[in-house]
Amino acid sequence: MSELERAYERRLKRHAVSGAIDIYDSNRDTYLGRLVNIHQEGLMLMGPVAVERDHLYQLQLQLSSPINGRSVIPLGVDCLWARASEDHRQHWSGFQIIDLSDEALADILCLIETMNE
């Protein structure tokens, strides 16, 4: 693990996701995987698609239950790290959130609060 990954990992408490939240790449209209954990500045996903480290993505978090009347949280993110499983069937990726609306931030904070109940 690089110094950047360790610093990112320690800064904020990650909140594990209990339900299924699917993540799509808006620019390629591609399913990337499922949300593993999140905090207000970043997230981790696991899925069948490899993503590129040091690459910007426009993501959509598809919520199984609406939050604040919305079922999708759009985010601009930067991929800080990416790893494949030994058989390369699953990929884990860590992202820093670099662009989000006030509504998206409110939705993330509400999602985190819901997960901590």
Is the full-model pTM beyond 0.85? Answer: no
Residue 14: per-residue pLDDT: 55
Please, what is the end-to-end C-alpha distance for the chain in angstroms? 31
Lowest mean pLDDT among 43-47, 54-58, 70-74, 108-112: 108-112
Q: What is the pLDDT of residues 5-63, one digit of tens each?
A: 554 455 555 545 666 899 999 999 999 999 999 988 999 999 999 999 999 999 999 99
- pLDDT of the residue at 6: 52
Q: How far apart are CA 82 and CA 52, in angstroms?
A: 7
Question: Mean pLDDT across the stretch 65-91?
Answer: 94
The Cα 22–Cα 64 span in angstroms is 8
Determine the structural domain holding residue 38 and report its residue range. 3-115
pLDDT for 108 equals: 92
The model's pLDDT over 32-41, given as tens digits with 9 standing for 90+, comes to 999 999 988 9
Q: What angle do CA 72, 14, 16 make, to 5 degrees?
A: 65
CATH of the domain at 98: 2.40.10.220
Query: How many distinct structural domains can be found in the chain?
Result: 1
